[in-house]
Structure 1
Amino acid sequence: MGLREVARERLVAEMVESSVKDLPDNEWTLLVVDETTTKVLSSVCSVSHLVEKRVSLVENIQKKRQPLPNMTVIYFISPTQGSVSRLLADFQAKNPLYKRACVFFSSQLPKQELERIKQSPTLLSRLGALKELNLEFLAIDSRGFTTAGAREETLKDVFGEDANSSGSYEREMDLIVRRLASVFASLKEMPAIRFRMGKPPQEGDPVGASERQLISQRIAVALHAELTDMRQKMAADDSFPNTETCDLVIVDRGMDPVAPFMHEWTYECMCFDLLDDVIENNIFKYTIDTNKGSEEEREVVLGEQDPIWVELRHKHIAEASLLLNDKMNYFKSANKLAKHKANQGNQDDIDTGDLKQMVESLPQYREQLKRLSLHVHIATKLNTLAKQMGLHEIGKLEQDLVYGNATSKEGIKLLGAR
């Protein structure tokens, strides 16, 4: 089971199903989230996943909501002062919004916030559950996740010159640790943590150098403490291992400072690098020619539901193009119409128009051929853009610079020619 599926299963089983199990079969519930948990939820669940479990509506805790005094509500919120304040406001003594509340926090609840909840008799009398779900990472795909979300300030907060005097440095480090801990809580793994030791501070170091050197170490120490505390809290249900079950290696960009300065040539990276004007939130927008001779705009999600995308995404563009050509040859041999077209024109390749006819003539191959046609279109566009932008020459120069086979003179010469 992939990471995204693990997170989805936890949300469904530990949060939603546990909240609705005592409700009548015909009674639905609603889910209230905040800014942080909205991102967590949307990274692993679709609306259909929630509707299947009798969640009729998802609402933002920061917005004004319609009172539903006869309904049970599920709160999935981060344990911040702001979100807890909104929770308490929903259950004011005079006009509580809901009949019953099942509250789940995305990470560990600070003691001061727990005390505030204890001081609300209206909420306590209507509380169906209060639990630290420990699920705050953002799943990118079945194997990848991020702790930062879309925050552009993260690198600046952690690696900036004023990191040693910035409160945002400590907040960001705490966030990273909490969300890493939630990954291991979801996987039910206790890691042996290994990290790259930073150099001792020296006189003359740049401002903020000591903080940057100690990032891996600080995360390792804080994460170990967080996981130890989490294991103690979860000891009763025996859901967290007592011994180390895996390895976690923590490094920073200092291990490989060259990579950010080189173009990536894998299929997925090139898509998001060169096609950023037509890809938004993993949705690729493109146009096709219709039977009527007009153009039609289409959208498709580039994700793990597409087996061709999964197969190609981490391959070098040259390897991906060859693989697409092999798939095309397979369909040529399997499809009589494609054979006829290829023999008629004596061509090695089939264009998009031919693919369209193949799709229409063979329903059993329709979905596969649609996807194949899409990726042929994308790969062709990537190769065309790479040629137009001279990326092959730039890529070769980048490699020569990294390996010491070229100097800045060659770089200036190439840039001056463009």
Structure 2
Amino acid sequence: MNVILAIKQYISKMIDDSGPGMKVLLMDKETTSIVSMVYAQSEILQKEVYLFERIESTGRETMKHLKCICFLRPTKENIDLLAQELRMSKYGLYYIYLSNVVSKQDVKTLAEADDQEVVREVQEFFGDYIAVNPHLFTLNIVGCYKGIDWSPAALKRTTQGLTSALLSLKKCPMIRYQNSSEMARKLAESVRSTISKDAGLFDFRRTDVEPVLLILDRKDDAVTPMLNQWTYQAMVHELLGINNNRVSLANVPGISKDLQEVVLSAEHDEFYATNMYMNFGEIGNNIKELMDEFQKKSQSHAKVESIADMKAFIENYPQFKKMSGTVSKHVTVVGELSRLVARQELLEVSETEQELVCQGDHSASLQKIKTLLNNNKVTQLDKLRLVMLYALRYESHSNNDVAGLVETLRKQGIGEKHRACVSAILEYGGRKARGSDLFGSTDPVAFTKRFLKGLKGVENVYTQHKPLLYSILDQLMKSKLREAAYPYLGSAQLKDRPQDIIVFVIGGTTFEEAFCVHQFNKSVPGVRIVLGGTAVHNFTTFLDEVQTAGQPVSLSRADAVRR
């Protein structure tokens, strides 16, 4: 199961089916993102697609010598725009591909608009989601909660995106869902209803062991999206933000114009593909090896030992930049990460976070948090993060000092709406909102395991934490996932260990969880797991998610770094 390959195959088929000749690709805002995530523009150009246009753009030129490949979401707005396009056709022939199921009425509307008989094909190609990694997809929805229930528009869009992913992977799964979440049950029923309604589309060849769709709710593990990260992809997203594979470096001191925005895509960047799951220390070493290799070839004797040396080397050797733009890009990104880690005391912050969520020494954690709250180098965002984590971790502790820490945030100049995040996170993901015993506080065996895990993690105190998803998948693959907590929808049950698992997280997933899935795929023979979510969060976007579920919260990374 590979969502990037699934989308790529659809796009290749669209282009191939239109035959030889010059082509234009006509898309909407969302399908533009879907295509750009899996195909570089240079790749599509090789397939005779010379123009990329948006359906909503006005003033497009008439070019009858071009064939038009339309790839659009089947929304009412797009159908209306496409009908208008066909009445006043700007291109010679039209090949129409809709990213999800289209109604008979909409097909009729398009047929009636095709007065000039320019349409050669209308097909449904189920690429209605953003493929991020081969085993990770998102719908780019932040704000799916409306209080404790679905936003109706988000439920509809999530059902469409999730069923599209199932169709593109050719899976008709058994459905399990998190019993403590009414939203998970509603999505499970909505997906099952769509499968029943479009049964012909889901009539795939049966396998010995049926695939499983497991629907989870972010509220069950609010800790994971709040932690600082140390693997490359997750760290870039946390500190710089990744938006559809694009990373803005515009605020990096002394950045050159051509590096103000860079693309990080494992499909088109070998170094990134090799290093996206490496920890921060390993990436620095790997970049240095590449630099050493180039120095040998260029016979340079410049001393290159640190990230700063690497940046200086690139500036002094412009031919290196030309020959190896990929490496210069990563030197710049890692250089900025390194600068932020030092400037914002992130090693100390992260160590405190990890001890807070993985171990149980309340007084030691409280003392460390108080010290960091009074450290002027620590950003407002990280101070807020620490207090929110403390509030979740010690929600039921008789001597917790949440009120005192919130008062310290006030004295540090953090505004009321941001301090309100502390109570908002308890409403969102506290004990009453969760189905899981996230911290194992009532289970002596779980506490012992956590303590031992903490000891084993001493060699890397920054990566002790494992997401709740890890234990859920582990139990699912061992056929030990409790049915009371994660029931099947309907009477069918799985008797053997599942081989194909699609996990979907309402409220968004994280790159830490994607790394966890990657590890399972690599280490467990015969098991294939794909992870999806309404969004892929860093701490900043997760606060926006909490905002729609409860009190207003929003704090940008730019605000956070401001002193």
Q: TM-score range by the shorter chain?
A: 0.7 to 0.9
For 1:71 and 1:321, locate their aligned partners in 2 and report how far apart those are by CA, in whole Å.
48
Matched, 1:100 2:103: no
Give the CA deviation at 1:358: 11
Aligned partner of residue 200 in structure 2, secondary structure? helix
Of 169-178 and 111-120, deviating more is: 111-120
- Residue of structure 1 in register with 2:146 after alignment: 160
- Of 343, 346, 349, 1:391 maps to 346
Aligned match for 2:205, one of 241, 244, 252: 241
Superposed, 1:16-415 pairs within 5 Å as 16-18=15-17, 20-21=18-19, 25=20, 27-64=21-58, 65-68=60-63, 72-92=67-87, 95-120=88-113, 122=115, 125-148=117-140, 151=141, 154-155=142-143, 158-161=144-147, 163=149, 169-198=151-180, 213-233=181-201, 240-243=204-207, 245-275=210-240, 281-282=246-247, 284=249, 297-299=257-259, 300-304=262-266, 305-324=268-287, 337=299, 351-352=309-310, 371=326, 375-376=330-331, 378-402=333-357, 403-406=359-362, 408=366, 410-415=368-373
Q: How far does residue 266 in structure 1 lie from its aligned partner after superposition? A: 2.0
**Shift in Å, 1:107:** 0.6
Deviations 1:22-80 (CA, angstroms, capped at 9, x unpaired):
xxx5x423222222222222222233333333333222211233344565432221111
> How has the CA–CA distance of structure 1 residues 358 and 173 changed in structure 2, closer, same or farther, with 3 Å as cutoff?
same
Seen in structure 2, the aligned counterparts of structure 1 residues 181 and 378 have a Cα distance that, compared at 3 Å, is: same
Give the Cα–Cα distance (whole angstroms) in 2 for the partners of residues 323 and 190 of structure 1.
42
- Computing the radius of gyration from Cα coordinates, the structure with the larger value is 1
Match of 2:68, SS state, is strand
- Does structure 1 conserve the Cα–Cα contact (< 8 Å) formed by 2:175 and 2:213? yes
In 1, are the aligned partners of 2:37 and 2:130 still within 8 Å (CA)?
yes
Q: Which runs of 5+ in 2 are unaligned?
A: 377-563
For each residue in 1:211-263, what CA deviation from the matched residue of structure 2 results, as whole angstroms up to 9, or x when unmatched? Answer: xx22222222222333454450475xxxx334565333221213322112221
Report the counterpart of residue 10 of structure 1 in structure 2: 10
TM-score scaled to structure 1, two decimals? 0.72
By how many angstroms is 1:353 displaced? 7.5
Q: Secondary structure at the match of 1:56?
A: strand
CA deviations on 1:129-165 (whole Å, 9 max, x unpaired) are: 11111111112233322112xx4xx32xx3232746x
Matched-pair contact (CA < 8 Å) for 1:287–1:298: no
Quote how far apart the aligned CAs of 1:183 are: 1.9
- In 2: Cα distance, 1:182 partner to 1:106 partner: 8
TM (normalized to structure 2)? 0.56
The alignment partner of 1:128 has SS state of strand
Cα distance, 1:177 vs structure 2: 1.7
What is the identity percentage for the equivalent residue pairs of Structure 1 and Structure 2? 21
2-side partners of 1:378 and 1:90: how far apart? Answer: 43
Give the aligned CA root-mean-square deviation in angstroms. Answer: 3.9
Task: Give the aligned residue type for 1:193.
Answer: I
C-alpha displacement of 1:415: 0.7
1:335·1:358 contact (CA, 8 Å) conserved in 2? no
Q: Is the 8 A contact 2:70 2:97 kept in 1?
A: yes
CA distance in 2, matches of 1:275, 1:112: 45
Which residue type is aligned with residue 119 of structure 2?
A: L
Give the number of equivalent residue pairs.
366
CA gap of 1:276–1:91, structure 2 versus 1, over 3 A, is closer
